[in-house]
């Protein structure tokens, strides 16, 4: 008998119309369960970031409802550390060391100095940077900065990690190495991850589920369960089949070609 799954995020009939008149999302319905690694895959401008921002309580639905752990995301963000957000840019404070950047969210929550350091060491070890505590962001490569950013997000032990194209600016080797580490972290921390990408290979490599979005206004074009064990082999034929499936679904959603 399977374990009972708990709903982490729900979009119910969500529309988002910006005050410029842009319809970013239309009738988005989606339920995300605890422990899932779900990717939003879609063309540029289809509303992926808009959807993520709503989950983070940074933007509100024009119509419909977004809930996280059954609550309004704005309230949840205000009252808990349950949600953390990692952006494409690492957003580190240049005048703070690696350690001081990572402890920042804990500092803001008022936890004591020893606890902060202990937690920071743990998460920096997880991302392979425990020897860089005293370095400044300018002394790090792009991949290392992103690792610090991920460590900072993990420091508050979030139950839900939101990631908006975090590896988009990195070279392919660095991207692949961070993808592997992220999967290890996901397994270790038992967190739920909502990941935005427009890279089909990245979505198939990482996700337990892929939400393919259609071109603007963004709707859910299809939901793909990626039934492959981890770690995944990028040259395996089953992997390639999922890449084909997701690519065709994307193409279909752009109305360029009908599904065969």
Ligand X SMILES: Nc1ncnc2c1ncn2[C@@H]1O[C@H](COP(=O)(O)OP(=O)(O)OP(=O)(O)O)[C@@H](O)[C@H]1O
Site of interaction with ligand X (CB under 6 A): 18, 20, 22, 24, 42, 44-50, 198, 216
Rounded to 5°, the CA angle 9-248-29 comes to 20
Q: How far is the CB of 158 from ligand X (least distance, A)?
A: 21
50 vs 191, which CB is nearer to ligand X?
50
What is the rounded distance in angstroms from the CA atom of residue 249 to the CA atom of residue 3?
A: 30
Q: Report the distance separating Cα 15 and Cα 23, nearest Å.
A: 8
Q: How far is the CB of 26 from ligand X (least distance, A)?
A: 11
| Closer Cβ to ligand X, 160 or 213, answer by number | 213
Cβ 165 to ligand X, closest distance in Å?
A: 7
Cis peptide before 210 (omega within 30 of 0): no
Q: How far is the CB of 13 from ligand X (least distance, A)?
A: 18
User: Which of 127, 129, 134, 135 is closest to 166 using CA atoms?
Assistant: 127
Residue 14 burial (CB count, 10 A): 23
Q: Closer CB to ligand X, residue 17 or residue 133?
A: 17
Complex with ligand X: residue 103 or 194, whichever CB lies closer: 194
Query: For residue 194, what are its two tokens?
Result: 């909502």
């Amino acid at each position: 008998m399977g374990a009972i799954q708990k709903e982490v995020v729900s979009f119910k009939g969500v529309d988002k119309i910006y005050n410029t008149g842009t319809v970013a999302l239309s009738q988005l319905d989606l339920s995300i369960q605890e422990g899932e690694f779900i990717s939003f895959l879609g063309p540029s401008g289809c509303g992926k970031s808009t959807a993520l921002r709503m989950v983070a309580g940074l933007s509100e639905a024009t119509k419909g409802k977004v809930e996280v752990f059954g609550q309004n995301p704005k309230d949840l963000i205000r009252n808990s550390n349950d949600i953390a957000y990692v952006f494409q840019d690492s957003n580190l404070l240049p005048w703070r060391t690696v350690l001081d950047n990572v402890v920042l969210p804990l500092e803001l929550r008022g936890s004591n100095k020893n606890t902060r350091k202990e937690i920071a060491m743990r998460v920096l070890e997880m991302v392979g940077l425990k020897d860089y505590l005293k370095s400044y962001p300018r002394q790090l490569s792009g991949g290392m900065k992103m690792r610090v950013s991920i460590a900072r997000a993990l420091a508050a032990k979030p139950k839900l990690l939101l990631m908006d194209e975090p590896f988009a600016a990195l070279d392919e080797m660095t991207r692949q190495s961070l993808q592997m580490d992220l999967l290890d972290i996901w397994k270790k921390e038992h967190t739920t991850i909502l990941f935005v990408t427009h890279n089909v290979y990245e979505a198939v490599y990482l996700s337990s589920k892929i939400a393919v979005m259609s071109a603007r206004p963004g709707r859910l074009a299809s939901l793909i369960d990626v039934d492959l064990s981890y770690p995944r082999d990028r040259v395996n034929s089953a992997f390639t089949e999922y890449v084909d499936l997701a690519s065709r679904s994307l193409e279909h959603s752009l109305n360029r070609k009908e599904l065969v």
